[in-house]
Amino acid sequence: MKLSIAKGVHLVESGDFEPADHWYSRALNSNLHPLVSYFLNLSNQQILERYVRLNPGANAEALQKIVDYTPKYFKWAGTDLMHVVNSSGKKKLVVIETNSCPSGQKSMPLPEYNVESGGYYKLMSETFKPIVDDHEETGALALIYDKNPMENVGYAAAIADIFGEPVYLAEFKSDETPSVKFIDNKLHIADENGELIPIRAAFRYVTQHPWDRIPRKSKTLLLNPIEACLAGGRNKSVAYEAYRDFNTAFEQDGLKINTPQTMLNVALEDLHTYFEKLGGNMVIKVPDSNAGQGVYTVTSQKEFDRAYKALQANPDDRYLIQELIKSNADSELGDAFYHVGTLPDTKGRSFAFDARMMIHSTANGLRPLAIYSRKSKYPLNQPLPSDLDSWEIYGTNLSIKNTDGWSYDDVRLILFDIKNFGILGLGLDELIEGFIQSCMAVYTIDHQAKKMFD
């Protein structure tokens, strides 16, 4: 951590970027897979032409509008996708959720060897700096966060390098944080004298109920503003409403956001009805939870009872219910999605995995920025021991919430490097599909934000 100037506030200056501090060591010392590098260097026009060739019913002009779109609120996003197959053998990538404060840089091997700051610098120079330069507020630059210091110190150092001025790096965990305050909708952070100074623009990585302490219509430019969270970037139910709107609006253009079967606004007392309707297999999600919290995979009455008991603490809440993307190892094939899974290892084990596709808004449209995968703890194709929960098979999130903060189970991280990328069984066309799915998700959530807040 850099120079401490107040409680929870550090000053990051130009020249402070240290690569070893901002990547997992195995990511920093690995080589990006050539196919992934090739994908990152494709132009949007090349990506569009390929996607339309793979999906003959897709309207190229409609897709061009989406890929070239400049979001007003949602300029930086990470979409979690799963590689699935149906009983007919048709494979696709489905959107699980879209995040408005996505992690990922620390897991991304450097695309270019001569740019030590990698995607940290790219996001700040191509997305953050142009909108800050057009912003008329006065004050200092800052970064506010509530977790993931490895990446956030890196982002702050990249901002300091690009703008040539110090950056106030402030931990912002609650609205009672004395060193960080919104005053008249403008962010203020304590300096070395304990005085709250105004901030003209800030990079935001506040993920835990950020609406509790960040106002709408902030006078301080934020990347991303809270509107992106409220419109779907941090609320799963609102996001799925946006996906449905998109699929209705673009059905005639042959474009669709792929999602599991989803039911919204389900009351606690109705959960059992859906449990029976979905054949005893489903996922229950608390809409505004994240980092793997508030998600329950249910494959038995025992698991249902456990989830129901946990949710009884908030009996008036409403939940999002989804079909469970399952292993087909111990179930009859039907009209549902199944995990393709990793290629079998030397012990014959195949694991569920997701892919995080991080994209950002640039002068050249929406562009891919980083990508990595996470696998489950227990294999899909072996019987689950009776003492384990189905989350061990289907859960892929690496975040672990401890009493003293957050940690990460990075053993299950799969880098898109020369050594590891091949075990995913993904090709160039899947990367293109994942990017297009991510662009469509960002497009519709940003449009929903404009409907809600403009």
The answer to whether position 312 is within a domain reads no
Question: Can you give the pLDDT at residue 402?
Answer: 55
Least confident of 74-78, 141-145, 165-169, 378-382: 378-382
Residue type, 291: A
Percent of the chain with pLDDT over 90: 82
Question: Can you give the pLDDT at residue 384?
Answer: 85
Mean predicted confidence (pLDDT) in 217-235: 97
Tell me, yes or no, whether 214 and 130 share the same domain.
yes
The answer to whether position 389 is within a domain reads yes
Question: Can you give the pLDDT at residue 400?
Answer: 59
Residue 380 has pLDDT above 80, yes or no: yes
Domain that holds residue 375: 33-100+252-260+325-439
**Residue 61 or residue 330, greater confidence:** 61
- Peptide bond before 224: cis, by omega within 30 degrees of 0? yes
343 CA to centre of own chain: 24
Tell me, yes or no, whether 329 and 211 share the same domain.
no
Cα separation of the two ends of the chain = 38
Mean predicted confidence (pLDDT) in 259-281: 94
Partner residues linked to 405 by β-bridges: 402
Residue 426 has pLDDT above 70, yes or no: yes
The answer to whether position 40 is within a domain reads yes
Percent of the chain with pLDDT over 70: 94
Tell me, yes or no, whether 161 and 61 share the same domain.
no
Mean predicted confidence (pLDDT) in 116-136: 94
Residue 350 has pLDDT above 80, yes or no: yes
The answer to whether position 202 is within a domain reads yes
Tell me, yes or no, whether 18 and 141 share the same domain.
yes
**Residue 269 or residue 388, greater confidence:** 269
The answer to whether position 315 is within a domain reads no
Question: Rounded CA gap, 22 and 154, in Å?
Answer: 6
Residue with tokens 């203020």: 188
Tell me, yes or no, whether 92 and 139 share the same domain.
no
Mean predicted confidence (pLDDT) in 149-175: 95
Q: What DSSP character marks residue 72?
A: S
Give the tokens for residue 168.
Answer: 């106030």
Q: What is the pLDDT of residues 239-260, one digit of tens each?
A: 999 999 999 999 999 999 999 9
Mean predicted confidence (pLDDT) in 26-31: 91
Residue 177's pLDDT band, with cuts at 50, 70 and 90, is confident
**Under 8 Å CB-to-CB from 320, ≥6 apart: which residues?**
236, 237, 240, 262, 263, 264, 266, 284, 285, 286, 287
Mean predicted confidence (pLDDT) in 44-65: 97
Tell me, yes or no, whether 20 and 37 share the same domain.
no
The answer to whether position 331 is within a domain reads yes
Mean predicted confidence (pLDDT) in 208-212: 92
Q: Which of 370, 348, 373, 350 is nearest to 426 (CA)?
A: 373
Tell me, yes or no, whether 90 and 19 share the same domain.
no
Tell me, yes or no, whether 187 and 205 share the same domain.
yes
Tell me, yes or no, whether 430 and 399 share the same domain.
yes
Question: Rounded CA gap, 93 and 84, in Å?
Answer: 6
Give the tokens for residue 111.
Answer: 């695309």
Q: HEC profile for 403-426?
A: CCEEEECHHHEECCECCCHHHHCC
Mean predicted confidence (pLDDT) in 199-204: 98
Number of residues in the chain:
454
Question: Can you give the pLDDT at residue 341?
Answer: 96
Residue 298 has pLDDT above 60, yes or no: yes
CB 393 within 8 A of CB 349: no
Residue 404's pLDDT band, with cuts at 50, 70 and 90, is low
What average pLDDT does the chain have? 92
The answer to whether position 289 is within a domain reads no
Mean predicted confidence (pLDDT) in 104-126: 87
Tell me, yes or no, whether 333 and 423 share the same domain.
yes
Is residue 160 exposed (0-12), middle (13-18) or buried (19+ Cβ within 10 Å)?
buried
Residue 218 has pLDDT above 70, yes or no: yes
Least confident of 59-68, 134-143, 179-188, 320-329: 320-329
Tell me, yes or no, whether 216 and 167 share the same domain.
yes
Handedness of CA 300, 277, 79, 135 (dihedral sign): negative
Mean predicted confidence (pLDDT) in 152-167: 97
Split into its structural domains, the chain has a count of 2
The DSSP line for 339-365 is: E--PPP-TT-----EEEEEEEEEETTE
Question: Can you give the pLDDT at residue 401?
Answer: 56
Partner residues linked to 362 by β-bridges: 365
Mean predicted confidence (pLDDT) in 35-49: 97
The answer to whether position 41 is within a domain reads yes
Mean predicted confidence (pLDDT) in 12-19: 94
Tell me, yes or no, whether 139 and 16 share the same domain.
yes
Q: What is the pLDDT of residues 132-154, one digit of tens each?
A: 999 999 999 999 999 999 999 99
Look at the pTM and tell me if it is higher than 0.75.
Answer: yes
